[in-house]
Structures are given as structure tokens and as C-alpha cells.
């Protein structure tokens, strides 16, 4: 295996699988955390009904339309932050959601952020937990992951195991697209849950 970062300017579905095994590291005043990525999802911008950029540019998704290698951060359901790596050519607005990983450095700090009783398996299992373990928030929107800043994307340190792929998790549109990739046998991979369509509320009778 070639232990280098993938070319992030390539189409998102080609980049996503090659991010598995790569490292995302953060540095803060209280210390650093490094996560090895074990699960990701691809979103193809205006060509993808499930993407935040499907309806075009907005203040929220502006960074997705920029150059590859930057961080797209959004608040999910008002509860937690999720992080994405922007990919593809400028204007395509494609990005890879980082769904899960294994904390390989800074476990004590990650546990302080996640809760002292959190098991090693669950420290970065799920997109909100991964972001919390790394200490990422909306303040990291747009940061360059390929420079020498406090958030960095780094190549794998060793060969990764078999890669599997299947439907994305929790999306109601394009739910059958097999654009979720994960490392087989990794305990940190989140559980698959098919999206449940929201039921329309009936009008209240007088």
C-alpha cells in the first residue's frame, strides 16, 4: 500500500475510500489528539440530493465550493458538530463526512472531552463523537488540513485492512447510494441505521 494522502482534488467517490487509515490530528492548549479514520461517507455537491450543497452555494456551505483540503464543519440537529474534508475541483462542492475513527494518541484528553466512562471503542465512534474527541467546533470551519496548522490530515502509518462499502447512514434522499466506506472488523465503526421517512403531521381539528 502507498502510505500517502490521496489526491483530494479527485472526485469524491474516488477520494473517500482512500481516506480510511489516514490520521486527523488536532493541537490545542490542553494537548493533542490523533484519530485514525475508520469510516467515511461521500457527498457529491449539486449532483447529490443528500448533500448540503445540492441547492447551490449558501453562507453555510461556502467552503465546500472552494479548493480541496479544507474543513467543512456544521452543527447537526443543534446537538453536535460534524466535520467533512472538502474534495474535488473548485465549484463542485463535494466533501467526505468523517464518521468514525480510533483514537491512537491523546486518549486521556479525548476521554476528558467525551466523558470519563467512555470506552476506547466509543471515543470517536460516530461523527459527533469523533468531532468532540478531537475538540473541533464551528471555529474550525474552513481551516486548511494540508498545512502546518492546529488541524492536520496526515497519511496512514501502516497498511489498512479490507475496505467495505454500503448505503449511507440516516439520509432520506439518495439513501441507497453505496457511498459509505469503512474498515472491516474495526470496532469503532458506527452502527448502520436506515433513514426513517418523517411522517407528515395531520391538521388539528377544531
CA 126 to CA 41: how far, in whole Å?
A: 12
14 and 88 Cβ atoms separated by less than 8 Å: no
Q: Which three cell numbers stand for residue 41?
A: 461517507
pLDDT reading at 10 higher than 70: yes
| pLDDT tens per residue across span 19-49 | 999 999 999 888 999 999 999 999 999 999 9
CA 38 to CA 21: how far, in whole Å?
A: 6
| pLDDT tens per residue across span 86-135 | 999 999 999 999 999 999 999 999 999 999 999 999 999 999 999 999 99
3 state SS for 80-122: EEEEEEEECCCCCCEEEEEEEEEEEECHHHHHHHHCCCCCHHH
CATH of domain 12-183: 3.10.300.10
CB environment 157-177: b (16+ within 10 A), e (fewer): eeebeeebbebbbebeebeeb
CB environment 21-41: b (16+ within 10 A), e (fewer): bbbbbbeeeeeebbbbbbbbb
Burial (CB < 10 A; 0-12, 13-18, 19+), residue 11, is: middle
Q: What does the pLDDT average to over 143-168?
A: 93
Q: Provide the pLDDT for residue 205.
A: 38
Amino acid at each position: 500500500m502507498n502510505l500517502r494522502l490521496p489526491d483530494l482534488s479527485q472526485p469524491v467517490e474516488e477520494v473517500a475510500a482512500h481516506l480510511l487509515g489516514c490520521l486527523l490530528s488536532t493541537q490545542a492548549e490542553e494537548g493533542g489528539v490523533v484519530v485514525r479514520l475508520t469510516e467515511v461517507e461521500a457527498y457529491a455537491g449539486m449532483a447529490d440530493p443528500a448533500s448540503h450543497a445540492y441547492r447551490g452555494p449558501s453562507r453555510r456551505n461556502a467552503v465546500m465550493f472552494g479548493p480541496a483540503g479544507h474543513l467543512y464543519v456544521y452543527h447537526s440537529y443543534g446537538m453536535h458538530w460534524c466535520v467533512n474534508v472538502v474534495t474535488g475541483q473548485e465549484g463542485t462542492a463535494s466533501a467526505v463526512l468523517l464518521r468514525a475513527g480510533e483514537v491512537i494518541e491523546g486518549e486521556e484528553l479525548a476521554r476528558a472531552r467525551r466523558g470519563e466512562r467512555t470506552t476506547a471503542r466509543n471515543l470517536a465512534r460516530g461523527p459527533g463523537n469523533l468531532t468532540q474527541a478531537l475538540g473541533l467546533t464551528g471555529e474550525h470551519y474552513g481551516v486548511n488540513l494540508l498545512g502546518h496548522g492546529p488541524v492536520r490530515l496526515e497519511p496512514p502509518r501502516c497498511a489498512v485492512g479490507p475496505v467495505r462499502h454500503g448505503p449511507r447512514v440516516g439520509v432520506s434522499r439518495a439513501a441507497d447510494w453505496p457511498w459509505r466506506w469503512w474498515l472491516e472488523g474495526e470496532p469503532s465503526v458506527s452502527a448502520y441505521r436506515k433513514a426513517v421517512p418523517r411522517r407528515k403531521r395531520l391538521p388539528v381539528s377544531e
